[in-house]
Structure 1
Amino acid sequence: MATERMHAFLRERAEGDLLPWRAQCDLAERFDASLGEIEDAALAAGLLPGRYRRNRETVSVEEQLRLFRSRVVVIGCGGLGGYLVEQLARIGVGELALVDPDVFEEHNLNRQLLSSPAHLGRAKVEVGCERVAAVNPAVTTSAHRVAFSLENARGLLAGSAAVVDGLDNTLVRRDLAAVCRELGVPLVHGAIAGWYGQVAAQLPGDDLSPLLRSASASGRGVEATLGNPSFTPAVIASLQVAEVVKVLLGRGRPLSGRSLFVDLLDMRFEEIGHA
């Protein structure tokens, strides 16, 4: 009965097939429900929350519901991770798990979207959750202030529809790819250094290890010498989010078995198959 009443009120407050934000908030209060529960009910009833109005020509209501019922784990909430968290929340992925052991430092301010002088010394995952709550309060977040490892991997990745790599260490990336391969969880990889970046996807049955073969003893990549300006993580993270959405919706041609190398200095994009 409560569900029927909620659907009746959803229809009553809708403007055509759109549910305005104010109505979403009012219904959450009326039915003592979370904003996420109201959003799920609206999408299930074929109504599109007004915030996704500009998604509709790209993502159908049914696909928006699929995104909202998906759990995505973001490993690393720094240069890549801040943009990943922001865009995944805005596109409407309903549950985000944020994993990172670090706090913001001054040298993060040039490129890490979630950083600001006011956030120096604060945990990146906590700031990330606050940002999602401000941007899209219907999205559920969980903060895991730990370094990803083989010991905690299965607990962190349990129930995930996809995992996104925002790491800066190739050795840890190898472990992440191995666990995702073992669990059959899609992984979207991204890496940045200076003007350059790369994106790849490891779907069930794929193996990213050839791409991650070379690494220093510490696992740190060439970004240690090339640096990272503000625009490179923004570009690569955007490409990663596009890959995640394709994977979750079963759309298009994900970068499975191949990598996209990006050269922003000469503005070149090159696909290379994994050997």
Structure 2
Amino acid sequence: MAELLSWLKERAKDDLLLWADQLSAANRFKISVREVEGVALENGLLPARYQRNRNMFCLDDQLKFYRSKVTVIGCGGLGGYIIEELARLGVGTIVAVDPDVFEEHNMNRQLLATPDFLGIKKVAAAARRVDRVNPAVELLPVGLAFSRDNGKQILEGSQVAVDALDSIAVRLELAEVCQDLGIPLVHGAIAGWYGYLMTQFPGERTLQKFFSHNSQEGGLEKQLGNPSFTPAVVASLEVAEACKILLNRGTLARRRCLSIDLYDMEFVEIEC
């Protein structure tokens, strides 16, 4: 690795490593661009794609992202945007969980849904998208329905779980598995013009309390539908929460729920 590091430093522009040089290094030294990225970040070089991050995140922060593992449960309306933003942020390992394939009705709002991907597993589409957006990120596709039975295996080693589900029953199972494993959970939900956001740490039962009187299997989304913009807004808020958890900074939406009304443009906190 000493030869690789010397090669990278010779080509770096100040402390920035251009993508062309990252790719050349991978080809020259017969390693992945992901490995090149790790060596660069560990030795004070910032891949140039992240240079607009640096006024918010220092090099050590970027290295934390690279070493992080985040699991996204659901690859539809919310999940597609969440995966995209985590990959562009530089989160090193993303586990994408979803049993479904893309259908035409997904195409009005789901970032990963394109004519080319109709009939394709959502997790396979997510893997292909991440490989194009940021090849230094590893996307681990899990084409299964999340449950209490497989949840611990799916979430093993993750620092954060991000809820992009459309089933209240399954998200409650997700909350219980996160509790058992000691993993923070970022919850988001969408329906029509509206959305919800909350973050739950082990020992808290905010999500369970919030849904204690609501047993609707599919929630309001099946009644109100969703346009293109609501998933993008709520997903971005979820990624912001995940980012703060990974860096251990900022104020999180804990023990409260943020109610989002894009029709009247109102954001209301609900104590839980």
TM-score norm. by structure 2 comes to 0.98
Deviates further, 49-58 or 220-229? 220-229
Task: Report the counterpart of residue 263 of structure 1 in structure 2.
Answer: 261
> Conserved in 2, the CA contact under 8 Å of 1:104 and 1:115?
yes
Task: Report the counterpart of residue 225 of structure 2 in structure 1.
Answer: 227
Task: Report the counterpart of residue 28 of structure 1 in structure 2.
Answer: 26
Among 105, 110, 113, which residue is 1:112 paired with? 110
Task: Report the counterpart of residue 238 of structure 1 in structure 2.
Answer: 236
Distance of 2:105 and 2:213 partners within structure 1: 26
> Conserved in 2, the CA contact under 8 Å of 1:173 and 1:212?
no
Distance of 1:215 and 1:118 partners within structure 2: 37
Task: Report the counterpart of residue 157 of structure 2 in structure 1.
Answer: 159
> Conserved in 2, the CA contact under 8 Å of 1:97 and 1:144?
yes
Among 91, 94, 117, which residue is 1:93 paired with? 91
Q: State yes or no: 1:201 paired with 2:199.
A: yes
Deviation of 1:142 (Å): 1.0
Distance of 1:181 and 1:200 partners within structure 2: 15
Distance of 1:270 and 1:216 partners within structure 2: 23
Task: Report the counterpart of residue 186 of structure 2 in structure 1.
Answer: 188
- Paired residue secondary structure (2:3): helix
Distance of 2:241 and 2:189 partners within structure 1: 14
Residue identity opposite 1:266 in structure 2: D
Q: Deviations over 1:184-213 (max 9, x none)?
A: 101100000000001111123222211222
Distance of 1:204 and 1:38 partners within structure 2: 35
Task: Report the counterpart of residue 214 of structure 1 in structure 2.
Answer: 213
TM-score norm. by structure 1 comes to 0.97
- Paired residue secondary structure (2:196): strand
Runs of 4+ with >4 A deviation:
none
- Paired residue secondary structure (2:44): coil
Among 11, 14, 21, which residue is 2:12 paired with? 14
- Paired residue secondary structure (2:10): helix
| Gaps in structure 2 of 5+ consecutive residues | none
Distance of 1:105 and 1:169 partners within structure 2: 18
Task: Report the counterpart of residue 126 of structure 1 in structure 2.
Answer: 124
How many equivalent pairs are there?
271
Task: Report the counterpart of residue 173 of structure 1 in structure 2.
Answer: 171
Task: Report the counterpart of residue 79 of structure 1 in structure 2.
Answer: 77
Distance of 1:205 and 1:18 partners within structure 2: 42
- Paired residue secondary structure (2:95): strand
Task: Report the counterpart of residue 59 of structure 2 in structure 1.
Answer: 61
Residue identity opposite 1:155 in structure 2: Q
Distance of 2:175 and 2:149 partners within structure 1: 14
Distance of 2:184 and 2:172 partners within structure 1: 14
Deviation of 1:235 (Å): 0.2
Distance of 1:233 and 1:214 partners within structure 2: 24
Distance of 1:250 and 1:92 partners within structure 2: 17
Distance of 2:211 and 2:264 partners within structure 1: 24
Q: Deviations over 1:8-53 (max 9, x none)?
A: 1121111001000001001111111111111111111111100001
Distance of 2:241 and 2:102 partners within structure 1: 27
- Paired residue secondary structure (1:228): coil
Deviation of 1:101 (Å): 0.3
